[in-house]
Structure 1
Amino acid sequence: MAVDERMPGPPPVAVVRPGSRPDGAGRTPGRTSTVLCLLTVLMAAAVSLVLKRGVPTFLNLSPYDGLLFARNATSLADGDWLGRFTDLTLVKGIGYPALMAFAHDARIELGQAEQLVYLMAALAVAGCILAATRRKVLSTGCFVFLALAPANFGAASNDVVRDNLYASLALLFVASTALLCLAVLRGARIVWIVGAGLLCGLSGAWAWVTREEGLSLVPPVLAVVVGFGVVTWRSSRRRRRALGPGRRSWAAAARPLIAVLVVGASFAAPLVAVAATNAERYGVALTDDMGSGTFLRAYADWTRVEVGDEQRRVPIDAAQRRAVYAVSGAARELAPYLERKDNPWRYEDCRTRPCEFGGGWMVWAIRDAAAEAGHFDDAREAQAFFVRLAAEIDGACTRGELTCSSRLPAGLQPVQRAPAGELTRSYGGMAGDLLLSRDLFEPVEVQTDVSPRTRAEYTAIILGLPGSNAAAAAEGAQYGDRLWLYEGLGAVYRSAVLALLAVALLGGIAVLVLRRRRPRWRAPRREAALVVLGSALAVGVLVRLGLLAIVDVAEYDAANGRYQLTSHVFLLAAVTVGAAGVVAVVRDRRRPGSVRRAVGGVDQAHREPDDRDLRASHDQHHAEDR
């Protein structure tokens, strides 16, 4: 009997590999969890912005800090760059005034703009956790924890100064570097690599023009790059042992080059643009005077002069000044102002008589003296004057007319005035303050005695500020009613930081021990990315504490919450990343039958991948490149 080919046959049998799901199974729950995670992220960001808006802005009344930023921002908003040149025009970078001007033009409150930058950094950290673990719920929880960090709602972060912005940019720079490395190593599409590279380069450049210690971000960023390089080298060596030498596609070889070019261009372009604009307006191609100008070299050379016993936190005492006056004509021009009995900088923070210029104030005393001598009438003249001052002091040191310590890079010169014992004590004290979150969550002081003129300068550029002292008092009363919420959040996070630090350290040690003793723990190490990022953030903490300890011993009291903001956000992100890595590893090992989405491949039932796994991964990698 003929068989009708159109007759339906038995339904095809779906072949399901062990550990996998049938086609279509689990898609709806996966999409639902993605939507829920996105909604949670948006809700946490919104809550953090609401909390930030409820904190009053403290108006920094110093013409060398808050008012300087407000005036520069007003000039930027008016299209007049940084305004008429004075001795303060280029003394600090343009990064913070640029944010103030942007917030004004975008009709955003300054606090909200600062919080948005911080949320970008928190999102970058959470993105690294998601890319490394493929766990949406875990990475979402980490973002929520970072987004609600109470340091953003304390007095240290709500002053009109640049430290809060710099801390956020520093974290964004390091985290975006890790994201870029992950994108390159995972063979991501070029568009993702370009996007991550732009974020990395632009955040680094913005941080560079916000504060002068941008070089302190090099160690953590370098730790990220070197760490991922080591992970990649070990992985490729293992693959070569299994498969033998193979060829790389052009796309795989081009990804690192594209990343380097994008980061380099996006980092350099803003710096070149700022320097070029300053050259056009003021005649000097600088991003800022304290970081890239000639003043710091002259100041550092003056502190090298050795005359008698050193005084703590007095970098240039009366004996040093007299010694330099004798050999430097440029220094003698500053003497009438510096040696004036009523010089206000001499009495700042003076606790013992006779008063001397403290390290935090000597910088401004010298600049004010140069301005009185007429050397800040023109930017080029100012740079030339400090070149002459540095050359005369260094020449006298070289000829033996002055006894001087070794000449170091200007930013490192204070190290010579920081004895090891005092430096160690200061470092330990600051580390303890950081771990206990001291001075980071303190409530904002409500100001009801600001002059109308000063308040008008601020309200002209910062939206949402009270227009009068009476309005500020009313805002302060509302803040006082909500203060219990901020204090409660601070108490929770003080304990949480220590708990997460313990989980990250003890859990990490336990995982390393178990790897050596139990075969089921010897799986492909997808958590390596989190180890690299967490270690780099820890490096950032250590470097920042070292910098602050040197300043604290040699220059001025640096043990306060405002200067600790950068080390705090690094520590907060480090313990979050470390704890997330431990949680991900433990959850994987508790489900031996699950599919592990590891870095570099899939590992079923926690077995070691054999040559077939490696070859399949190798072939798939090249197929994707093609």
Structure 2
Amino acid sequence: MKKKTSISVSWLICIAIAIAFTALRLALCEVLMVYYIPFTGYDDVMQLLKAISITDGVWLGAFCSTTLVKGVGYPLLTALFHSINIPYIFAYHLLYVVSCLIFIIAIRPVVPNKWFALVAYTFLLFCPIAFSAQLTRLYRDIGYYSVALFSFSMPLGMMLRYKDTKHSILFAICAGLSLSFAVSYREDSHWLLIYGAACSIVYVIAALFYKRENSKKRRKILTVPTLLLISFLAYQLIISGINYHYYGYFISDDYNSGSYAKAYGALSRVNNSDEDPKIAIAEAQRIQLYELSPAFAELRNHLESDDSAFREWVRVQGEYRTGYFSFVLRDVVAAAGYYT
């Protein structure tokens, strides 16, 4: 009887400490100030306007060259927090707290004791990056580390529960949804998809070895990674379906798919003997393309003329910098009257 009381008290102490640290962590975020950078057509202002449009019930607003350039995850999450009246900074720091808790729950099968879990939780909770100036900016960076941690935890939790299909199913479904959301939060989050696939492979191999003597259980092993895939595709199909309803494009964003992705991919495949990672499509490549493509030649004055407003994007050795050229291309095509 004394042993049970002792265990109960130790758990209460552990939980009380965790609650105290959580309260302190959330209190610290109250001193942070939000800022944004104006005139950022593809960053702060664009994503804020999308969040406002979602709140107003018109999805991402009127269609233009910036509508599908980035995933809907951040505007969607920001609109959700606004609709339930949670302050911006507090909401995203609360999201991080939840992500930390999810990680601890995910690794429970390999956690030696509650005190180890408390130390790990505290270590994650007070990660200093969350208080950096960049992450108080009115931009999607504020939530990406939380989304990434959540998306990292779910496949890990699924993988660590290879001995029990029932307990791994919920993690698999949440893993698919979280990975899919992460890709829509930052459209260049493919590293998380590789990680999710790796966890699924390890899960299948580990489960096959563990259940090698039980043929009935072995037949159910693929159920878990299949559910992960289904839930991943379900979210993507829903977002693509909404985009199709509003804009006529069945894609989640045009960074990874659609006509823009194909066009930019074709442009970037032109050979450049003096390849520089800071320059996506050098002037020498563009000159070749003007001769090969009448459509691209229509953009020549916008891209090359000294008095063109788009030349302000020329930053590296008289060239358009890699990250900027993708935005310049959109603006130039829009200026030529092709974005409708």
- TM-score higher than 0.5: yes
Aligned 1:295-310 pairs, distance under 5 A: 295-306=260-271, 309-310=274-275
Letter aligned with residue 17 of structure 2: T
> Which of the residues 244, 266, 272 maps onto 2:231?
266
Counterparts of 1:228 and 1:194, CA distance in 2:
12
1:198 aligns with 2:173: yes
194 and 70 in structure 1: CA distance in 2 versus 1, 3 angstrom threshold: same
> Which of the residues 21, 26, 44 maps onto 2:3?
26
Aligned 1:119-158 pairs, distance under 5 A: 119-158=97-136
Counterparts of 2:254 and 2:94, CA distance in 1:
29
Counterparts of 1:217 and 1:89, CA distance in 2:
24
Aligned 1:590-605 pairs, distance under 5 A: none
> 2:320 aligns to what?
357
Letter aligned with residue 112 of structure 1: F
Counterparts of 2:46 and 2:278, CA distance in 1:
25
3-state SS of 2:221 partner: helix
Mapped contact 2:169–2:224 kept (Cα < 8 A): yes
Counterparts of 2:70 and 2:17, CA distance in 1:
39
Aligned 1:376-387 pairs, distance under 5 A: 376-377=339-340
Aligned 1:222-371 pairs, distance under 5 A: 222-232=197-207, 246-247=213-214, 250=216, 252-253=217-218, 256-306=221-271, 309-311=274-276, 313-348=278-313, 350=315, 352=317, 355-371=318-334
Question: What per-residue deviation string (whole Å, max 9, x for no partner) do you get for residues 382-437 of structure 1?
Answer: xxxxxxxxxxxxxxxxxxxxxxxxxxxxxxxxxxxxxxxxxxxxxxxxxxxxxxxx
Mapped contact 2:34–2:138 kept (Cα < 8 A): yes
Aligned 1:409-558 pairs, distance under 5 A: none
- For structure 1, the 5+ residue unaligned runs are 1-23, 238-245, 378-626
Counterparts of 2:44 and 2:77, CA distance in 1:
13
321 and 133 in structure 1: CA distance in 2 versus 1, 3 angstrom threshold: closer
Counterparts of 2:20 and 2:143, CA distance in 1:
22
Counterparts of 1:193 and 1:236, CA distance in 2:
15
> Which of the residues 44, 50, 71 maps onto 1:72?
50
Mapped contact 1:130–1:136 kept (Cα < 8 A): no
Counterparts of 2:249 and 2:313, CA distance in 1:
32
Counterparts of 2:325 and 2:73, CA distance in 1:
25
> 1:183 aligns to what?
161
How far has the Cα of 1:160 moved from its partner? Answer: 2.0
Mapped contact 1:345–1:361 kept (Cα < 8 A): no
> 1:409 aligns to what?
none
1:47 aligns with 2:24: yes
Question: What per-residue deviation string (whole Å, max 9, x for no partner) do you get for residues 96-123 of structure 1?
Answer: 0011101110111222222222223222
Mapped contact 1:72–1:97 kept (Cα < 8 A): yes
Letter aligned with residue 91 of structure 1: V
How far has the Cα of 1:341 moved from its partner? Answer: 1.6
Question: What per-residue deviation string (whole Å, max 9, x for no partner) do you get for residues 339-370 of structure 1?
Answer: 23233443347365xx2212122111111111
120 and 327 in structure 1: CA distance in 2 versus 1, 3 angstrom threshold: same
229 and 82 in structure 1: CA distance in 2 versus 1, 3 angstrom threshold: same
180 and 307 in structure 1: CA distance in 2 versus 1, 3 angstrom threshold: closer
> 1:101 aligns to what?
79
3-state SS of 1:350 partner: strand
Of 218-227 and 147-156, more deviation after overlay is shown by 218-227
- Report the number of matched residues: 339
Aligned identity (percent) is: 27
53 and 199 in structure 1: CA distance in 2 versus 1, 3 angstrom threshold: farther
1:82 aligns with 2:60: yes
Counterparts of 1:50 and 1:290, CA distance in 2:
38
Mapped contact 1:77–1:105 kept (Cα < 8 A): yes
Mapped contact 2:107–2:160 kept (Cα < 8 A): no
Letter aligned with residue 365 of structure 1: V
Counterparts of 2:77 and 2:292, CA distance in 1:
44
How far has the Cα of 1:201 moved from its partner? Answer: 1.9
316 and 90 in structure 1: CA distance in 2 versus 1, 3 angstrom threshold: same
Mapped contact 1:184–1:259 kept (Cα < 8 A): no
- For structure 2, the 5+ residue unaligned runs are none
Mapped contact 1:201–1:264 kept (Cα < 8 A): yes
Q: CA RMSD in A?
A: 2.4
How far has the Cα of 1:35 moved from its partner? Answer: 2.1
Mapped contact 1:345–1:357 kept (Cα < 8 A): no
Task: Report the TM-score, using the length of structure 1 for normalisation.
Answer: 0.51
